[in-house]
Each structure stands twice: as structure tokens, then as C-alpha cells.
């Protein structure tokens, strides 16, 4: 049985003993060391290389936040879980900004502690393996940031919009090594954090209530780091929290991100609501995703016509998802009906995609050699600096609209 190794850091010896007792019967978790302050913790991590550090926040000398930042920088294969009696969102933001993978409020149960260690340790190991994979042989030039906003949209649910947004954002972060932000603008039912195995405490709903939300340093505190290098701004945890988010807030946040990040990928709600319209207006590119079935194509045609009326048609890049050869509507029929050639065609890969979603691990990392992952990578390359300013020959054409509806 593979064990997850743990280092406990707390200035109170009885607390360290209590935590060890909570983990005593967990056969797959092994406590390999202890530390009583931040500096001792750093030395212990460098010597022992644990999978997970349980780090108290409030300690004399170097506190848990400073120690966590040093550990995640020096020993990136070790994940930090902050443990604290503090429930305030300010502490959570500081912890996440320091690179912590999770935050547990004392007191916690043995099952809560063990499951957190397992989840964080498992995710850390799997993603580190992917990040250690060889870099692309022909890495794109990244001397100048693109400052490009890509909005993924469809007015129909179930076409793979969020899956595309997550994997595209991870691919951009992985391939360019630049700063990439992913914003979940599906405020009532967004699943970006879930698909990336991120457990947010603070979200966009809390961000818009901050007095200094116009400062990039504050916005960065609400962006959760993913080991691909991507940073994620999650949707609210509860649907009713969407009510506090106004269009002007979204516009300000997106403009701020666009001024400070090379790429911003926005996942939207499946509707032309005010927030979506605001994002579409600010977008450099609109990725309209659809599947090869009649209801999805009807929605795609309507979406294209609405975007034409909104003077946004020149931004649109069509993405055909769940494509199968010889089944359903053909590519030629799709081109004729919609009047557009898809920029990307993603094959049907239901089993792999479902496993990726359920585990919170993007398939561009777990299955980089798969056809669908390669197609996502090719799609991402269209928005990298080397491709800017030139037409992707044979893969893109201007949109025109046919009078005949599906």
C-alpha cells in the first residue's frame, strides 16, 4: 500500500500529539516528522521531503503563511495544508496566496483530516508527474504576453463548454509558461473548481464585496493556483450568492485581469445574460462550442445569428465537440447549415473525459498523448504569439449566415 507521508508543524506540542493520535489508525498515512516553528518546518521539509505538511498559521517567529510560501517555492513536490482556529476569509486568502492546497479549521474530525491528506497528497503526486513531463520540443516564443481573453460560450448546456474551458486554460499555461487565469462566470452553477479539484473558500462573490477589488494584488488573492501554473477565479459556492455580482464588477475584474495576465479564459453560463454579454464584449475571441446533433446545431445557429447582431461575429471560432465518424450529422452538413468551418474538431472520448471530470484531473495532463488532448493543444496554439496576426490556413473562415434554419 502506498503511503502519504506527513510533517506536522505546530508550536504547541499537545496539538501535534493530538494530530498524531487522529492519524494513528490510518494505514495509508504516515507521520514522518514534526516542527514547532516555521524555520524548523522549512529545514524539516528540505530534509524529509514529505508529501503533505500540516501547517499551523499562528506561530512565534516565522508564521505558517511565510513558511508555506517558502516551502511551496523551494520544495514544490510537497503540498501544504493550513490548519488554524481562524475562520476569517482574510486568513484563507493569505494561505492560498502562499500556495497552500487546502485549509482546515480547528477542531476537525479524524475523517476530515485523513480525507484531506489523501486528496491533497494524491492530487499533488499525479500533477507533479505531469509537470515533470518533457517540455514541448518546439516551445512557442513567449517574450511578449498576448493579453488575450478567450470566452467559451454556448447557449446550450451539456455540449462540453466547461471541459473545454478547463483543458484549454491548462494547455495554455502548460505550453506557454505564462500567467493564465480561468474565470468561472457561470455564477449559479459553475463547475470549474470542481473539474480542477479545487476546494475554494473565497469566490468571485466575496471578491466583489471587497473595498479594494480594483487592485490586482487583492484579485490575485482570490485566484486559486493549479499545479499546471493556471490560476482560477471560482464561481460562488451557492446559487443565491450570484445576486451580489453586478455587471460593472465583472467588467472591472476582467479588465484588470486582462491588463495583468497573458491569457484569460472565461467559462460562461449557457445563456445570453448581462454578465455573459459583458464578457463577450470584452473578448478577443469567442469559442462557440457545439455537438453534432440537431438540438445543439439549432442552438449554435441561433447563437451565431445573435452574435452577428451584436457585431461580435468576427471574434467567433467554432469548436465541434464529441465528433464521431460515420454517425449522426456529417461535417459537410454542419458547414452547410451553420455557414462556418470549425477551427477545432474534438473527437468523442466519453470514457476518458468522464473519468477526468470525476477525478478533477484535466485530460490534457493525465492523457497528453490522446487525440482529444492533442486537438486541444492545437487549438491553444492558435492563440499563442507565433500564430497572432496570421490566418490559420484551411482551418478558419469568415462567418456567413444562411437564411435556411435547421
- 70 within domain boundaries: yes
- pLDDT at 398 (0 to 100): 37
Give the contacts of 119 (CB within 8 A, at least 6 positions apart): 102, 197
- pLDDT at 325 (0 to 100): 55
- 396 within domain boundaries: no
- 94 within domain boundaries: yes
User: Is the same domain home to 260 and 118?
Assistant: no
Closest to 45 measured CA to CA, from 54, 97, 96: 54
- Rounded to two decimals, the pTM is 0.66
- pLDDT at 74 (0 to 100): 84
Give the contacts of 390 (CB within 8 A, at least 6 positions apart): none
- Residue 156: strand pairing partners: none
User: Is the same domain home to 100 and 212?
Assistant: no
Give the contacts of 140 (CB within 8 A, at least 6 positions apart): 175, 176, 381, 384, 385, 386
User: Is the same domain home to 288 and 185?
Assistant: yes
User: Is the same domain home to 318 and 372?
Assistant: yes
The number of distinct structural domains making up the chain is 2
- 143 within domain boundaries: no
Domain boundary among 103, 131, 159: 131
Q: Is 63 helix (H, G, I), strand (E, B) or coil?
A: coil
User: Is the same domain home to 87 and 178?
Assistant: no
User: Is the same domain home to 221 and 338?
Assistant: yes
User: Is the same domain home to 58 and 193?
Assistant: no
User: Is the same domain home to 249 and 301?
Assistant: yes
Q: Which domain holds residue 31?
A: 4-131
User: Is the same domain home to 161 and 278?
Assistant: yes
Torsion of CA 173, 176, 180, 186, to 10 degrees: -60
- 46 within domain boundaries: yes
**What CATH number does the domain containing 371 carry?**
3.40.50.300
- 66 within domain boundaries: yes
- 137 within domain boundaries: no
Could you say which residues of the chain have pLDDT below 70?
1, 89, 126-146, 325-328, 386-406
User: Is the same domain home to 126 and 152?
Assistant: no
Amino acid at each position: 500500500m502506498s503511503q502519504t507521508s506527513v510533517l506536522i508543524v505546530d508550536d504547541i506540542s499537545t496539538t501535534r500529539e493530538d494530530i498524531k493520535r487522529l492519524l494513528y489508525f490510518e494505514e495509508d498515512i504516515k507521520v514522518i516528522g514534526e516542527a514547532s516553528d516555521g524555520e524548523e518546518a522549512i529545514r524539516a521539509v528540505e530534509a524529509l521531503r514529505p508529501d503533505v505538511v500540516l501547517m499551523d498559521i499562528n506561530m512565534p517567529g516565522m508564521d505558517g503563511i511565510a513558511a508555506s510560501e517558502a516551502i511551496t517555492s523551494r520544495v514544490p513536490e510537497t503540498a501544504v495544508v493550513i490548519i488554524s482556529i481562524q475562520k476569517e476569509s482574510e486568513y484563507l486568502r493569505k494561505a492560498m496566496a502562499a500556495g497552500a492546497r487546502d485549509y482546515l479549521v480547528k477542531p476537525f474530525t479524524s475523517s476530515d483530516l485523513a480525507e484531506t491528506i489523501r486528496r491533497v497528497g494524491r492530487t499533488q503526486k499525479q500533477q507533479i508527474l505531469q509537470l515533470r513531463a518533457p517540455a514541448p520540443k518546439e516551445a512557442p516564443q513567449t517574450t511578449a504576453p498576448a493579453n488575450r481573453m478567450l470566452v467559451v460560450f454556448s447557449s446550450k448546456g451539456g455540449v462540453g463548454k466547461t471541459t473545454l474551458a478547463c483543458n484549454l486554460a491548462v494547455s495554455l499555461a502548460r505550453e506557454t509558461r505564462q500567467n493564465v487565469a480561468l474565470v468561472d462566470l457561470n455564477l449559479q452553477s459553475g463547475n470549474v473548481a470542481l473539474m480542477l479539484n479545487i476546494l475554494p473558500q473565497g469566490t468571485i462573490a466575496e471578491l466583489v464585496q471587497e473595498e479594494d477589488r480594483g487592485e490586482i494584488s487583492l484579485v490575485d488573492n482570490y485566484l486559486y493556483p493549479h499545479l499546471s501554473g493556471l490560476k482560477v477565479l471560482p464561481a460562488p459556492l451557492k446559487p443565491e450568492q450570484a445576486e451580489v455580482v453586478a455587471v460593472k464588477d465583472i467588467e472591472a475584474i476582467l479588465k484588470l485581469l486582462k491588463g495583468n495576465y497573458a491569457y484569460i479564459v472565461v467559462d460562461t453560463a449557457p445563456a445570453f445574460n448581462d454578465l455573459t454579454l459583458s464578457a463577450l464584449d470584452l473578448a478577443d475571441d469567442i469559442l462557440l462550442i457545439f455537438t453534432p446533433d440537431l438540438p445543439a446545431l439549432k442552438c449554435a445557429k441561433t447563437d451565431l445569428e445573435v452574435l452577428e447582431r451584436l457585431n461580435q461575429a468576427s471574434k467567433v471560432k467554432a469548436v465541434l465537440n464529441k465528433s464521431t465518424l460515420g454517425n449522426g450529422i456529417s461535417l459537410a452538413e454542419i458547414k452547410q447549415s451553420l455557414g462556418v468551418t470549425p477551427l477545432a474538431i474534438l473527437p468523442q472520448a466519453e470514457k476518458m473525459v468522464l473519468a477526468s471530470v470525476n477525478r478533477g484531473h484535466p485530460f490534457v495532463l493525465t492523457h497528453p498523448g490522446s487525440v482529444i488532448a492533442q486537438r486541444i493543444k492545437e487549438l491553444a496554439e492558435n492563440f499563442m504569439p507565433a500564430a497572432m496576426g496570421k490566418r490559420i490556413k484551411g482551418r478558419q473562415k469568415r462567418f456567413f449566415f444562411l437564411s435556411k434554419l435547421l
